């Protein structure tokens, strides 16, 4: 007997529009987990040293492709923001989906980021002319709970100053950031899985949970509720971006814990679980793929991913990385993918 319909969810070409793959052995552990469930993803450039020139970018993409060959996954590459000449950007444009801007020092491996946003403007002008999207880690160096809110006027300034530049507010965590989407036509956003599920209470309200510690830090219940409303609608300007960010267990379970939630192996099943709980499975396709395809103008490989309601227990480790939901039950799983 075949399973009744509400036990099956079919998605076409799911995309993860914000992922950290790292390099070397870590890349080879984590990249296939994304490539199994997704048809493509936006690969972050915060390596050491950063991906900030064409040669490094092409070498990095080749390393990714070697780790996931034949899996029907397109790595959409990004360049780490610095002052670039027009010639440099023209040369790299065919190979990238956008340029990722980090304010200096706000997160993992962002030391080479931007000190003063005004200094970025000549390069942003060239990007606007060449039609290269700008992806932004939008946090100041202020009080940790206020960093995103304090950054919102910078988003507003950039959106006004560069009206033809596509600006993606990465991993938004506040209701004010959601509201800003409706103020400027050229502002878009990604939303992670974990920010749809957790608040600061889950991170630090009881025993400290290093595997839930990330930047931007999870905020208040009202913020989570606003993110959930935007994802479930879905707001036409939001896309899924996991911000899956693996660190070895030794860097997480440490006196100085690294920021990052490693959600790649559970991202798609848990999103289906959330949308099913809200009776919104018919709206997941837009959040997980269609909005991103429209916003970025990309066409990923056609990949049909079928999930079934079939509980499983998340492993404690993938290599030496502890995943989000380790040891917990996830209701849905991918049972078939067809290229
Ligand atoms: O928690 C985070 N981890 N936030 C980021 O912005 C970077 C990421 C990482 O690379 O580990
Ligand atoms: Zn990130």
Q: How far is ligand 1, taken at its centre, from the CA of residue 170, in Å?
A: 11
Q: Beta 40-43 vs 15-19: how paired, if at all?
A: parallel
- In contact, 189 and 263? CB cutoff 8 Å: no
Nearest atom of ligand 1 to the alpha carbon of 102: 6
Mean pLDDT of the chain: 96
| 322 close to ligand 1 (CB < 6 Angstrom) | no
pLDDT at 3 exceeding the cut of 70: no
Q: Could you tell me if residue 322 is inside a domain?
A: yes
Q: Is the CB of 107 under 6 A from ligand 1?
A: yes
Which of the residue ranges 109-113, 167-171, 268-272, 289-293 would you say has the lowest mean pLDDT? 109-113
User: Whole-prediction pTM value?
Assistant: 0.97
Residue 329 lies in domain: 8-338
Q: Render pLDDT for 178-190 as a digit per residue (tens, 0 to 9).
A: 999 999 999 999 9
Tokens read off for 288? 């997980």
Of all protein residues, whose CA lies closest to atom 2 belonging to ligand 1?
Answer: 260
Taking only the tens place, the pLDDT of each residue in 279-324 is 999 999 999 999 999 999 999 999 999 999 999 999 999 999 999 9
Mean pLDDT of 215-244: 98
Domain assignment present for residue 212? The answer is yes
With respect to residue 1, please indicate whether it lies within any of the assigned structural domains: no
Taking every pair of Cα atoms in the chain, the longest distance, rounded to a whole number of angstroms, is 64
Q: Is 148 helix (H, G, I), strand (E, B) or coil?
A: helix
Question: Phi and psi dihedrals of 76, rounded to 5?
Answer: -90, 110
- Of 192, 211, 250, which is closest to residue 328 (Cα–Cα)? 211
Q: Which of 212, 243, 258 to mutate to test ligand 1, by most ligand atoms within 8 A of the CB atom?
A: 243
Give the Å distance between the CA of 102 and the centre of ligand 1: 11
CATH number where 127 lies = 3.20.20.140
| pLDDT of 2 higher than 50 | no
The pLDDT value recorded for residue 320 is 97
Per-position DSSP letters for 215-238, written without gaps between them: SSPP--HHHHHHHHHHHHTT-TTE
Are 40 and 72 in contact, with CB atoms under 8 Å apart?
Answer: no
pLDDT of residue 5: 58
Q: 94-108, 131-145, 157-171: lowest mean pLDDT where?
A: 94-108
* Spatial distance between the Cα atoms of 115 and 285, rounded to a whole number of angstroms: 38
Closest CA to 120 of 83, 157, 78: 83
| 263 pocket-lining for ligand 1 (C-beta < 6 Å) | no
Atom of ligand 1 nearest to the CA of 247: 11
* 259 CA: nearest ligand 1 atom: 1
Say if residues 238 and 283 touch (Cβ distance below 8 Å): no
**Does the beta carbon of 309 lie inside 6 Å of ligand 1?**
no
Using a 6 Å cutoff on CB, does residue 215 contact ligand 1? Answer: yes
Closest listed residue to residue 101, CA positions, set 89, 115, 87, 90:
115
CA distance 33 to 40: 12
Set 243, 279, 290, 320: catalytic member: 243
Give 54-72 pLDDT, tens digit per residue: 999 999 999 999 999 999 9
Respond yes or no: is residue 243 known to be catalytic: yes
Quote the pLDDT of residue 104: 87
Sheet with 40-43: strands ordered across: 15-19, 40-43, 74-80, 98-101, 134-136, 167-169, 187-191, 238-240
Contact 200, 161 (CB under 8 A): no
Token look-up 């990949």 returns: 303
CA 279 to ligand 2 centroid distance, Å: 29
Is the CB of 260 inside a 6 Å radius of any atom of ligand 1?
Answer: yes
3-state secondary structure of 284: helix
Q: 114 — alpha (psi -120 to 50), left (phi > 0) or beta?
A: beta
pLDDT tens sequence across 160-211:
999 999 999 999 999 999 999 999 999 999 999 999 999 999 999 999 999 9
Total structural domains within the chain: 1
Domain membership of residue 316 (yes or no) is yes
Confidence (pLDDT) at 260: 98
| 105 belongs to a structural domain | yes
């Amino acid at each position: 007997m075949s399973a009744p319909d509400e036990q099956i969810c079919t998605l076409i070409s799911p995309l993860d529009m914000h992922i950290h793959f790292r390099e070397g052995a870590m890349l080879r552990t984590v990249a296939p987990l994304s490539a199994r469930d997704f048809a493509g993803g936006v690969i972050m450039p915060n390596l050491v040293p950063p991906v900030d020139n064409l040669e490094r970018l092409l070498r990095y993409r080749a390393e990714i492709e070697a780790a996931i060959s034949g899996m029907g996954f397109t790595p959409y590459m990004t360049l780490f923001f610095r002052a670039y000449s027009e010639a440099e950007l023209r040369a790299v444009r065919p190979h990238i989906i956008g340029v990722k801007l980090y304010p200096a020092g706000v997160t993992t491996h962002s030391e080479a980021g931007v000190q003063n946003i005004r200094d970025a403007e000549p390069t942003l002008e060239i990007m606007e002319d060449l039609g290269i999207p700008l992806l932004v880690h939008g946090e100041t160096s202020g009080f940790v709970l206020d960093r995103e809110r304090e950054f919102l006027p910078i988003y507003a300034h950039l959106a006004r100053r560069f009206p033809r530049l596509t600006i993606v507010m990465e991993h938004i965590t506040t209701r004010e950031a959601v509201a800003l989407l409706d103020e400027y036509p050229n502002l878009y956003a990604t939303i992670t899985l974990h920010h749809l599920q957790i608040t600061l209470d889950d991170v630090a309200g009881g025993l400290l949970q290093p595997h839930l510690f990330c930047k931007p830090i999870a905020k208040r219940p009202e913020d989570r509720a606003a993110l959930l409303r935007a994802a479930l609608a879905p707001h036409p300007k939001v896309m899924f971006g996991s911000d899956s960010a693996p660190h070895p267990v030794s860097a997480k379970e440490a006196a100085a814990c690294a920021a990052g939630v490693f959600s790649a192996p559970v991202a798609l099943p848990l999103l289906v679980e959330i949308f099913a709980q809200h009776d919104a499975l018919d709206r997941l396709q837009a959040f997980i793929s269609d909005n991103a395809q429209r916003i970025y103008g990309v066409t990923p490989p056609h990949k049909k991913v079928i999930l079934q309601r079939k509980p499983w227990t998340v492993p404690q480790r993938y290599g030496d990385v502890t995943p989000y939901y380790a040891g917990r039950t996830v209701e849905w799983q991918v049972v078939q993918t067809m290229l």
